[in-house]
Amino acid sequence: MNKVFDATSMTDLDEGVLDRGAFVSEEIYRQELQTVFTRAWLFVGHESQIPNPGDFFSSRMGEESVILVRDKASVIHVFLNSCRHRGMKVCRYDQGNTSLFTCPYHAWTYATDGKVRGIPQYKELYDGVLDREKWSLIEVPKMVNYKGTIWASWDENAPDFETYLGEAKLHLDQALDCRDGRPGGSEVIGVHKWVFPSNWKFAAENFLGDSYHNPSHRSVDLIGIGPSARQGIKGRRDNELEMAKHVWIGFAAGHGVHSAVQAMGAEYVSQFANDPEIEAYFRHCHEERNQRLGDDARLLPFTGTIFPNTSYHGRQPRNLCVWHPHSPTETEGWRFFFVDADAPTKVKDFLRRFYMRYSGPAGMTEQDDMENWLYATKASTGTIARRYAFNYQLARDQAHLDPEVNGLTVRGRVNTKMTEHMARGYYRRWKAYLDCADWDELLGRNDPRFAATKKGSPQ
Ligand code: FES
Ligand SMILES: [Fe+2]
């Protein structure tokens, strides 16, 4: 009767069950902060947010504040936003430009490369001997600029970012590359930030490819909020991918995506006939992309989550979203919206309006999703509710398919029907982080499910 509840005692991912403690337990949450957010690669911002020397953007890694900054020599850094003297935040603004970070407490100052620049009464009170170099801002040891997106890890032994992404890279690329197929070239046109009472993993899991929750969006589908807002077109996106074959793919390191493969020779679907300029732009992008990428242009993105807490919408709308943990039952979502940097102003404005009606705190689709996550979190805190595990058995007993989809080879564990194998894989990896496993384990190198793309193996 008095036995202490083990927050993951009911978890068995081969069986397809996950203890609700994963979403509400304070003990599990503390463990996540220590083992997941100090090791995994985390998204911190985009280079277009800090184009000039001295530009900074205050970001987060887990619960902790970090500063993404471009120094005087134009080198990008990520620093812990905490003074080395007594820990005060040295930067209290969301973003801006500065030549120095001056701590508001006792006024130590740091240059944009993190070095101590000034210490009040240095000669008199520290006898001029304090080793300034040693007391620089704490810099994240691993950082990468991947197609303009900045990612960081606190683990010096973390594998390089592309190894970490593995075969999920191709899908993330679709969200980051220009619409005409040029690599990179995107810019952030705005960031929505909002707090909601849900565990952070509900959101991350949603974008792994949970298409099963489609009934939640019935109202936005009925009114048709897609980019073209064409008369007679139902759905919250345009039906440009109607003829495509949808794929749900899990990757060894715990990432999961929902993408689509167009049929060979798929034509551009005319969508914006009411506006010749917008129509010409998207038609041009479609044709250019086909020319540039050839057969590979047939792979198109929907959504995905890069383990642990960065999700993307690859196309309609197009953004990266980070789910920052606040507590087991509270999350701060930051959605970074992308456009091609050289797109016409009219196209950027057109996309901005669609993004806002779809995503973020006021976005009609995101509101549907959040309502589910926050009620599910709240309901799972109950004493009785916590005795019952969640079900992750969807398509558990179905064999995974050949990686050949519409004649295109797609890598990873591929399904052409809805499945929860991405979620099972994600939580297997999450469990490995909690258990302080080594990087071979965290990357799924020992997982027989990913040893070979063998048709018919269990999920
Ligand atoms: S805490 Fe920053 S100068 Fe004292
Ligand atoms: Fe949704």
Domain boundaries, the chain: 42-142, 166-450
What tens digit of pLDDT does each residue of 106-144 get?
999 999 999 999 999 999 999 988 999 999 999 999 999
- For 346-379, how does the pLDDT look when each residue is reduced to its tens digit (9 = 90+)? 999 999 999 999 998 889 999 999 999 999 999 9
What's the confidence (pLDDT) of residue 346? Answer: 96
- Residue of 105, 117, 137 to test ligand 1 pocket, by largest number of atoms within 8 Å of CB: 105
Average pLDDT over residues 227-244: 74
85 pocket-lining for ligand 1 (C-beta < 6 Å): yes
Average pLDDT in the chain: 92
In whole angstroms, give the CA distance from residue 102 to residue 414.
51
Q: Which of 100, 103, 121 to mutate to test the pocket of ligand 1 (most atoms within 8 A of CB)?
A: 103
Taking only Cα atoms into account, the Rg of the chain, rounded to an integer number of angstroms, comes to 23
Report the pLDDT value the prediction gives residue 174, as an integer from 0 to 100. Answer: 92
| Least trusted range by pLDDT, from 176-190, 241-255, 390-404 | 390-404
**CA 106 to ligand 2 centroid distance, Å:** 47
Measured from the Cα of 104, ligand 1's closest atom is: 2
Q: What is the pLDDT of residue 164?
A: 98
Tell me the range of 5-9, 51-55, 217-221, 271-275 where mean pLDDT is highest.
51-55
Ligand 1 close to Cβ of residue 116 (< 6 A): no
Give 346-378 as a DSSP string: HHHHHHHHHHHHHSSTT-HHHHHHHHHHHHHHH
Q: Which residues pair with 42 in a beta bridge?
A: 152
Out of 3.10.110.10, 3.90.380.10, 3.40.50.12780, 3.40.50.10860, select the CATH number for domain 166-450: 3.90.380.10
Q: How far is the CA of 309 from the centre of ligand 2 (A)?
A: 16
pTM of the model: 0.95
| Confidence bin at 399 (pLDDT 50/70/90) | low
Q: 105 in ligand 1 pocket by Cβ < 6 Å?
A: yes
Determine the distance separating the centroid of ligand 1 and the alpha carbon of 417, expressed in angstroms: 56
pLDDT at 459: 54
pLDDT at 457: 57
In this structure, whether the domain defined by 42-142 belongs to CATH 2.102.10.10 is answered with yes
Is the pLDDT at 458 greater than 60? The verdict is no
Q: How far is the CA of 370 from the centre of ligand 2 (A)?
A: 8
Shortest-distance atom of ligand 1 to CA 106 = 3
Q: How far is the CA of 59 from the centre of ligand 1 (A)?
A: 20
**pLDDT classification of 1: cutoffs 50, 70, 90:** very low
Q: Which ligand is nearest to the CA of 207?
A: 2
Q: 88 CB under 6 A from ligand 1?
A: yes
Report, as an integer, the average pLDDT of 69-84. 98
7 pLDDT more than 80: no
Please check the confidence at residue 276 and state whether its pLDDT lies above 80: yes
Instruction: Confirm or reject: Cβ of 109 under 6 Å from ligand 1.
Output: no
CB 309: neighbour CB atoms within 10 A? 25
Question: What's the confidence (pLDDT) of residue 243?
Answer: 75
Cβ(56)–Cβ(68) under 8 Å? yes
Higher pLDDT, 305 or 400: 305
**pLDDT band of 215, cuts 50, 70, 90:** very high
Query: Looking at ligand 1, which atom is closest to the CA of residue 103?
Result: 2
* pLDDT for position 2: 44
Numbers of helices and strands, H then E, in the chain: 12, 22
134, 156 in Cβ contact below 8 A? no
Check pocket membership of 86 for ligand 1, CB cut-off 6 A.
yes
Task: Quote the distance between the C-alpha of residue 336 and its chain's center.
Answer: 10
Distance, C-alpha 188 to centroid of its chain: 14
Nearest Cα residue to atom 3 of ligand 1: 106
Q: How far is the CA of 435 from the centre of ligand 2 (A)?
A: 31
Q: How many residues does the chain have?
A: 459
pLDDT at 253: 97
What percent of the chain is modeled with pLDDT above 90?
79
Q: What share of the chain is helix, strand, coil (3-state, %, to 5)?
A: 30, 25, 45
Mean pLDDT, range 190-216, rounded to an integer: 96
Token output for 439: 């990087």
- For ligand 1, atom 1, the nearest C-alpha belongs to 86
Above pLDDT 70, what percent of the chain? 95
> Which one is predicted more confidently, 267 or 80?
80
For residue 102 and ligand 1, the question of a CB distance below 6 A is answered with no
The pLDDT value given to residue 9? 83
Mean pLDDT of 387-405: 85
Average the pLDDT over each of 110-114, 270-274, 281-285, 413-417 and give the range with the smallest value: 270-274
| Ligand 1 contact, 93 CB (< 6 A) | no
Q: 94 or 272: whose pLDDT is higher?
A: 94
- Over residues 415-421, the mean pLDDT reads 92
Q: Which ligand is nearest to the CA of 108?
A: 1
